């Protein structure tokens, strides 16, 4: 099997990028072919350079042609802390091949302006007992594409936005690589799939583990045929 070539889009610290770099290892299933940043000072770029992955900094993230060129021939595009909107023409070009990680259980606590600390503040203000991480397909609307995989984490009574963010981030670092590997093993199907978590979806104690089951077609619930 030829490894799926992955482009990772970043804007910030790049801890999710690091989790991908660490998890994909020798790249037998998927390999990170390039890292594309919306800003030149993103710490994520340093992580990519250290790993020997080619980097590209966009001059105009709103320009679909530049983005498409930067992504090149990647079979999968992963938004990992990418804070710019992907232009609709680029979304259309990579239909069902662009995924994003969001630090809450979508469709709640998503949408325009819902990123970073604001997400966790909103979760705490709502009184919800659960938050989590979501990997979803990117379509024309912010945080509204079909959900690929989710993993819940408890919200504790004494949580602050920072403590909740840290707990969710730990799960993100497992869920995103697991989703990328599962999708790559399926050959990045041309229609949305749903990955379900094997066993309990609840974090027990301090142990965080993610084991994703075979994908099912998002619309029919039947097995994906790739």
102 part of the active site: yes
Nearer to ligand GRF, 13 or 189 (CB): 13
Residue ranges in contact with ligand GRF by CB under 6 A: 12-16, 44, 80-81, 101-103, 169, 172
Q: Tell me the closest approach of the beta carbon of residue 221 to ligand GRF, in angstroms.
A: 27
Q: Tell me the closest approach of the beta carbon of residue 150 to ligand GRF, in angstroms.
A: 12
C-beta nearest to ligand GRF: residue: 81
- CA–chain centroid gap for 57, Å, is 19
Q: Tell me the closest approach of the beta carbon of residue 51 to ligand GRF, in angstroms.
A: 14
Nearer to ligand GRF, 167 or 224 (CB): 167
Task: Tell me how far CA of residue 155 lies from CA of 102, 164, 210, in angstroms.
Answer: 16, 7, 19
Q: How do strand 98-102 and strand 130-137 relate by DSSP bridges? A: antiparallel
Residues 36 and 7 sit within 8 Å (Cβ to Cβ): yes
Per-residue burial over 145-175, b = 16 or more CB atoms within 10 Å of its CB, e = otherwise: bbbbbbbbbebeeebebeebbebbbbbbbbb
Catalytic machinery residues: 102
């Amino acid at each position: 099997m030829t490894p799926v070539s992955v482009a990772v889009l970043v804007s910030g610290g790049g801890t999710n990028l690091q989790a991908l770099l660490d998890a994909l290892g020798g790249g037998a299933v998927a390999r990170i072919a390039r890292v594309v940043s919306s800003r030149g000072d993103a710490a994520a770029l340093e992580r990519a350079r250290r790993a020997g992955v080619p980097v590209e900094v966009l001059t105009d993230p709103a320009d679909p042609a530049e983005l498409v060129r930067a992504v090149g021939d990647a079979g999968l595009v992963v938004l990992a802390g990418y804070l710019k909107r992907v232009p609709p023409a680029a979304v259309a070009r990579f239909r069902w091949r662009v995924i994003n990680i969001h630090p809450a259980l979508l469709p709640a606590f998503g949408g325009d302006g819902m990123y970073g600390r604001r997400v966790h503040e909103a979760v705490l203000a709502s009184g919800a007992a659960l938050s989590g991480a979501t990997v979803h397909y990117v379509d024309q609307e912010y945080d509204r594409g079909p959900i690929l995989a989710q993993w819940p984490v408890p919200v504790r009574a004494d949580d602050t936005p920072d403590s909740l963010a840290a707990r969710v981030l730990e799960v993100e670092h497992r869920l995103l690589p697991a989703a990328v590997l599962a999708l790559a093993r399926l050959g990045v199907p041309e229609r949305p799939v749903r990955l379900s978590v094997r066993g309990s979806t609840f974090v027990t104690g301090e142990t965080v583990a993610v084991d994703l089951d075979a994908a099912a077609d998002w619309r029919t619930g039947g097995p994906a045929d790739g």
